[in-house]
Amino acid sequence: MRRTLLLLSLLIAGCSSTTDQVYSSGALPLAIVSCACVIPDSGPIGPTSTEWDEPFLANHVQLTFAESFHKAGEAYFSPDGKWIIFQAVAKPAEGELPSEHYAMYVAELKEHDGEISGLNEPILVSPPGSANTCGWFHPHVHGRILFGCTLVPPSGVDVPGYQREQSKYRWAFPEEMTIVETVVPQMVGQEGPVKLNPIVDMPGYCAEGSWSPDGKTILYARVEPATQDADLYLHDMKSGKQRRIVAAPGYDGGPFFSPDGKMICYRSDREGNNLLQIQVSKLKMNEGVPVGIDGEFALTADRHVNWAPFFHPSGKWLVYATSRISHRNYEVFALSVDGDLSQRKTPVRITNATGFDGLPVFDPEGSMMMWTAQRGHDRNKEGRPSSQLWLAKTTGQSLPVPATTDGKKTAD
């Protein structure tokens, strides 16, 4: 969800396939990849890590590299903080072009002297040629994941559902995509093929899904085929029933539950002006199960593209990507979600490096932030800054305090 002059291609879609997909898991063959939530392909060359002015972050580690992936991004931690699920386009073979679509991977974090130093060999969990996006781990069942997947190569006739005029910044909604789940054999000490089971049996793009903290509900975005409008839905894992909870003109997507399961955050083009704003809604509950919305609040209302919100484990603040600095230099900012949500809070800058920084997430303890960035010296095959996964320690659990123009700290 970047913007002008930033390439971002999120091919995700929904379908009503009910058959299982079985294939061999392992490293992705060269030139076979899939697509999902977008990450730009080019941008300005960034400074070295010693020049990044990011007081909230420390001990930066690059997790993926151009020697293996043409681009990688949108990663999430497992509940124990030891694995990540992410989408990536594999580095193509010599003389071949990279795939248009993202594939889905899981990988175990590598440690050295108690510190994260990188990734072990990534494991491919999506079918060859398919388009994939938005992976997530089950909160209680080790090795169980879900993600958006077309299962087969997408038709390519989809109509972009969100797009900035005269730019390649868009989300496209291929009709073939649905939300699937599986248990990754290698994560539970087994071998054999990955078996993908479609969860959501609804026509139209269904993706951008995540489990509730208790694992009983999936929150996701669905595009109505007749209107091409994206709304937010709940899927009850026990009954299999779906319920639309956010229905408004304009794109609504990228939703996540708060750590206590009582709120959700998401991005919205509610004004229909091709700008995205960060929304937070309190959930209406019935016997502990979310059944609707009980109050919606716009955390941003400006002329920027704001997207990819993600709650801090404390539930008191969230991080998001924004064009607040420049549409050619997206950065990660933070906002409080504590107290009166109708009162606008001052955004606090988290990242500060030339090139794209976005899709931020925290590990379960809030001790690390992982995000997608064009920084450092990594370059793709064409010599452009490569979008890859980065991780850094956080230097505190509280929302950083914004600085005034004189350099002093001030409260919101």
Looking at residue 92, the DSSP 8-state letter turns out to be P
Residue in this structure with the two tokens 């016997």, named with its chain if needed = 287
Triad 218, 224, 226: Cα angle to 5° = 165
Which tokens is 377 given? 């010296």
For residue 324, being part of any structural domain is answered with yes
For residue 364, being part of any structural domain is answered with yes
pLDDT confidence of 383, banded at 50, 70, 90?
confident
With 60 as the cut, is the pLDDT of residue 72 above it?
yes
Domain containing 378 equals 8-394
| Cα–Cα distance for residue pair 158/178, rounded to 1 Å | 14
Residue in this structure with the two tokens 């077309």, named with its chain if needed = 150
Provide the number of structural domains found in the chain: 1
For residue 248, being part of any structural domain is answered with yes
Look up the CATH number of the domain holding residue 381.
Answer: 2.120.10.30
Confidence (pTM): 0.86
Residue 390, judged by CB atoms within 10 A of its CB (0-12, 13-18, 19+), counts as buried
For residue 185, being part of any structural domain is answered with yes
Q: What is the pLDDT of residues 107-150, one digit of tens each?
A: 999 999 989 999 999 999 999 999 999 999 999 999 999 999 99
Looking at residue 383, the DSSP 8-state letter turns out to be S
With 60 as the cut, is the pLDDT of residue 285 above it?
yes
For residue 229, being part of any structural domain is answered with yes
| Cα–Cα distance for residue pair 145/159, rounded to 1 Å | 28
With 70 as the cut, is the pLDDT of residue 15 above it?
no
| Cα–Cα distance for residue pair 312/315, rounded to 1 Å | 5
Provide CB contacts within 8 A for 406, sequence distance 6+. Answer: none
For residue 406, being part of any structural domain is answered with no
For residue 401, being part of any structural domain is answered with no
